[in-house]
């Protein structure tokens, strides 16, 4: 489905809630730019840039990287040409300060958050999802050893890369990420709900069925 003007979508949900999985589908369907702050930060870490070196410790511990660092990184991407038709923000904002900054950045471009989509998944499901996740470091494809296994164990279906487990998908780090999510990010639900542009979707079930719910919610809320 094509959209006539830029649309900016915030994807909210807990770690392992399926934000990355659904962001890929949404960006393809609505021709938007996928902006995942987690992916961008992991790329900075891999390239050992000054930002990556600073962010690495926070990420390994499951803590949030400071707002200023993530904000600066995002700002450049938002002004890129590919962001012109709108973005799916995956993993951003994560604090009320980040939500306010995003409003300001979009306002400079004459835009706003049109829709905040919340994928609701209970904590008990998340641990199994994250410990079973395997990602391709070459093309970014994401699999799950049980729910979405690759055709050949350990090998990416899309590009043949060797699948890896993310460094922060260890049980102790996952528990910290969940704690941080409930403390710092969950309050954003109230923030967007009070503006009337939050849609909640149950995130348990097949990824295709969840995507259809998200697509329908976008149609209802996009203004
Ligand atoms: P980030 O990379 O954003 O991690 P996250 O929010 O913890 O989310 P995940 O990527 O773990 O999960 P997801 O919701 O994308 O789920 P996925 O689709 O992969 O952030 C990592 C770190 O970076 C943070 O801890 C922080 O340090 C830092 N950071 C990032 N952004 C920041 C910010 N704005 N400010 C400060 N710091 C920031 O799915 C998970 C698994 O489940 C996969 O295996 C998948 O195949 C499977 N799955 C998906 N859907 C389903 C389904 N419906 N049923 C069964 N399995 C499913």
**Residue 22 domain-assigned (yes or no):** yes
Tokens of 125: 């499901």
**Residue 42 domain-assigned (yes or no):** yes
In total, how many domains does the chain have? 1
* Pairing mode, strands 33-36 and 198-202: unpaired
Of the residues 166, 170, 175, 222, only one is catalytic, namely 166
Q: What is the mean pLDDT of the chain?
A: 93
* Pairing mode, strands 115-120 and 133-135: unpaired
Residue matched to tokens 């909210």: 12
Residue 24 is a catalytic residue: no
Rounded Cα distance, 62 and 38, in Å: 11
**Residue 3 domain-assigned (yes or no):** no
23 pLDDT more than 70: yes
Q: Residue 221: which pLDDT band, with cuts at 50, 70 and 90?
A: low
Spacing, Cα 148 to ligand 1 middle (Å): 15
Residue 129 is a catalytic residue: no
**Residue 53 domain-assigned (yes or no):** yes
**Residue 4 domain-assigned (yes or no):** no
Rounded Cα distance, 84 and 139, in Å: 23
The whole-number pLDDT of residue 2 equals: 47
**Residue 68 domain-assigned (yes or no):** yes
**Residue 2 domain-assigned (yes or no):** no
What is the phi/psi pair of residue 47, to 5°?
-85, 0
The whole-number pLDDT of residue 1 equals: 46
29 pLDDT more than 70: yes
Specify the CATH number for the domain of residue 138.
Answer: 3.40.50.300
Tokens of 90: 């995956």
4 pLDDT more than 60: no
Residue 19 is a catalytic residue: yes
The whole-number pLDDT of residue 100 equals: 97
pLDDT in tens, 152-203: 999 999 999 999 999 999 999 999 999 999 999 999 999 999 999 999 999 9
Spacing, Cα 16 to ligand 1 middle (Å): 5
**Residue 193 domain-assigned (yes or no):** yes
Domain that holds residue 19: 9-221
pLDDT in tens, 62-72: 999 999 999 99
The whole-number pLDDT of residue 33 equals: 95
The whole-number pLDDT of residue 11 equals: 98
pLDDT in tens, 106-140: 999 999 999 999 999 999 899 999 999 999 989 98
Q: What residues contact residue 15 under an 8 Å CB cut-off, 6+ apart?
A: 126, 130, 174, 177, 178, 181
From 11, 14, 19, mutation site for ligand 1 pocket: most ligand atoms within 8 A of C-beta: 19
């Amino acid at each position: 489905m094509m959209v006539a003007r830029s649309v900016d979508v915030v994807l909210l949900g807990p770690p392992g809630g399926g934000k990355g999985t659904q962001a890929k589908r949404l960006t393809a369907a609505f021709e938007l730019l996928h902006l995942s702050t987690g992916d961008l930060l992991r790329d900075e870490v891999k390239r050992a840039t000054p930002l990556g070196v600073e962010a690495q410790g926070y990420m390994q511990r499951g803590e949030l990287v400071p707002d200023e660092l993530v904000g600066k990184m995002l700002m450049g991407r938002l002004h890129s040409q590919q962001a012109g038709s709108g973005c799916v923000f995956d993993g951003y904002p994560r604090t009320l300060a980040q939500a306010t900054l995003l409003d300001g950045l979009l306002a400079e471009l004459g835009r706003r958050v049109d829709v905040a989509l919340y994928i609701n998944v209970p904590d008990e499901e998340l641990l199994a999802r994250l410990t079973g996740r395997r990602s391709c470091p070459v093309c970014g494809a994401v699999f799950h050893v049980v729910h979405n296994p690759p055709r050949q164990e350990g090998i990416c279906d899309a590009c043949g890369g060797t699948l890896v487990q993310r460094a922060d998908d260890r049980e102790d780090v996952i528990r910290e990420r969940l704690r941080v999510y409930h403390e710092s990010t969950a309050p954003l639900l109230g923030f967007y709900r009070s503006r009337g542009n939050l849609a909640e979707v149950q995130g348990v079930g097949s990824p295709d069925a969840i995507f259809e719910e998200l697509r329908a919610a976008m149609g209802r809320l996009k203004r």
